[in-house]
Structure 1
Amino acid sequence: MCTQGAILCLSPYAEPSTCPRKKGNSVNSPCLPIGERIRYHRTRRGRTQVAVAGLAGITEAYLSQIERGLKVPSADVLTRIAAELNVPVASLLGEDPAPSTTEASTTTASSVVRALMGRGVPRGTEPATPTALRERVEAVWRIWQESPARFTEAEKLLPSLISDTEHAICAHRTGTDTGGRREVFRTAADLYGLLRSYCRRTGRLDLSLVAADRARRAAEDADDPVRIATAQWNLGHVLLSQGEEQAQEAGAVALLAVEGLQCVPQSPEATAVRGALELVAVLSSARTCRWSEARKRLEQRARPLAEQVGDGNVQWTVFGPTNVELHAMSLGMLAGEASEALRVADQIDTSHLPSRERQFTFGLEVARCYDLRREDAAVLVHLLSLEELAPEDLVRSPLAREMVTNLVRRVRPTYRRQAAALAQRMSLL
């Protein structure tokens, strides 16, 4: 049994279901205690403890104890404090709806789910051509990897794209255009690979598994060995998100796919996907605390493959030497070796990577290393940088939300205002 589960739980490469508190399929973000919310709203309005306590009919000492978490106010006292601070009681309880996404965005996200579950384009319409579908899928992939507002932008395009792709599959499955049929299935495999990532990042691990399975079936229908292996890479990342037992299974899935690629004619594409699969196996070993095995596989299997192909983006995996270094840094973080991880991080330049998400993950892990060392100023600097790089990812990351919440609780007065403002923008206050 892994003895460092608390650290492993916080890996942004594979956010496990045991990290955040759950209710159904949605993630409940960490919220500040009542006392710290009261202090936040009081100081934000420039009110002293003496003034608020006096007008609320309690002593300054009692309010101080409430703000420090030593006392829990009664409903009557809480109501009076809320009235003096001119905020709803729900704001002090953390029960007000978090405005992290707009109503329109939520509606669109629901449309993605509806399309994924098969409620889309009427079958009587003319199917999209393979070329048109390919262009649209590649455009969405570019948005997903490059846009700071990738969730909002992708959610506008995905529902119709899912429906049109499924419609094209139905039209070509029994058609006579063999080349067109194969291209449609290849495109479908690529689309469902993106949806695997989208569903995982939006907290729908159940649908992420559905998308990974559809990507695999589409790749098999296309008879495309590289895409079949990529589909197993997608499945591996879903399994990495679901606890220690599934993490071990992820490694088995990845290595089976590596074995399957041995029978495929060698090409840069096959080599890159093989390397990406090796990195899944590396993370599988790390998630189950087999540190020596993880480091050995990284150095002896993944790194030589990365040196063969160089930095690239085959099948949107971003595999290459830089990605291998990112995983080396991640191993240090997961093992709790923050100083070693930061030493590795100092040698990494992610500015040339085609994936903003991978740049975000790197920055988040650097922030986590400083968090482990309780270097709050560095944590805050990196979190603010991540907000500029990918604000939608920051809001949705359980690790980021946890770090910001903890930062507000313990940060020195010098940085408290900036930390509290960030927490407010992330709907944690």
Structure 2
Amino acid sequence: MEVKLHDIGEGMAEAGINCFLVKPGDFVKADDPLLEVQTDKMTAEIPSPAAGIVKEFKVNPGDTVPVGTTLLILEASATLGRQPEKVAAIPEYKKGGAEVEGPSSVNGTSQVKPIFPRILASPYTRKIAREHGIRLEDVTGTGPAGRIMDTDVYNFLENLTTNDSQQQTGLTEAEPKIDQPQTVKPVPFRGRRRQIAKNMLHSIQTIPHCTHFEEIDVTNLIEFRKELKASNIQLSATAIFIKTLSVCLKEFPIFNAILDEENEVINLNDHHHIGTAVDTEDGLIVPVIRNVQAKSLTEIHSEMKALTEKALRNQLTIKDIQGGTFTVSNVGPLGGSIGATPIIQHPQVALVSFHKTKKMPVVNERDEIEIRSIMNLSMSFDHRVADGASAVKFTNKFAAYIANPQLLLLELV
């Protein structure tokens, strides 16, 4: 039986082969994971379609292969669904013909151990082990059913480091320092990084980007969050921004649209599926909070926190990352305060980026100088779909809500 790479979500065209979770000769049950692949947005395990024995691999780790490629050959059989418990004992013979007793048996049969027990570990745990050159076969799992956890790998690595240090302290002479020639370290350009590059290039070549910049006074919002915190209500600034954007999108639905170029129509979405960009070790990924227009601030905060944690652990599902209609990126915590020209996720038509808040002198309505907390906002939009005037009105509406959180609360009643 040929096990092939199938489209596992959102029009996937190809995937990179991360590693095999089995080896030739292994017995597997239906739905056991066979190998780990990297799509443009996530890491996924390919399950076995049936019980059987792995015969041979048709691809290698590091390969990037299109959908439909044969990954491995599986000898499938209904009789392989379970392992035989007993087989007839075979007598062994010494050289010269003297018979030697075979393995200990009961009623002429002997017990047979299962073939190649499967190692239980998540893709993220396997990734940690690969990065540190650790064989999971050498690690003792402490999770359910012997599952290897992240902490097991880290503890194993710590023990290795400790042993190496102890061996080094036993040296009587310091090893001479040898100057190593300067080299260039090649970094694989595949998997998520390669797909991000493809998506960005397609977007920038397809969409005539226009970016509008706006200064947002967040002084009152900061005080509002302090009051909430004093009442044991935790709300992140990003959650408030996302809900505020949803309120603005109701008035400016053109920015929550999908351009269908083939049919020459702009589809205005009444649902607000807002993606939030998350920076991970493997690159940028955008989980989606669905139906923001129907959710409370606390619901948005909780869901965003859960999705971010899943993204950092590389545990997002296809459903978590597909179907977005608008995207936000909060780079403020990273220190970016001036601005940027964010690239839109095609076929969406707009993206907003929030930057670091800074205290700045501002002239108020009484011509007095006062210190206010100011955040820069960058909004990129598809100039085929919307005009600059609409973008300015959209960000002005957003700025008014953020400067006066009470107005936002009235909209939510």
TM-score (norm 2): 0.21
Q: Which has the higher helix share?
A: 1
Q: Could you say which structure has the greater relative contact order, defined with CA pairs below 8 angstroms and 6 or more residues apart?
A: 1
Q: Which has the higher strand share?
A: 2
Larger radius of gyration: 2
TM-score (norm 1): 0.21
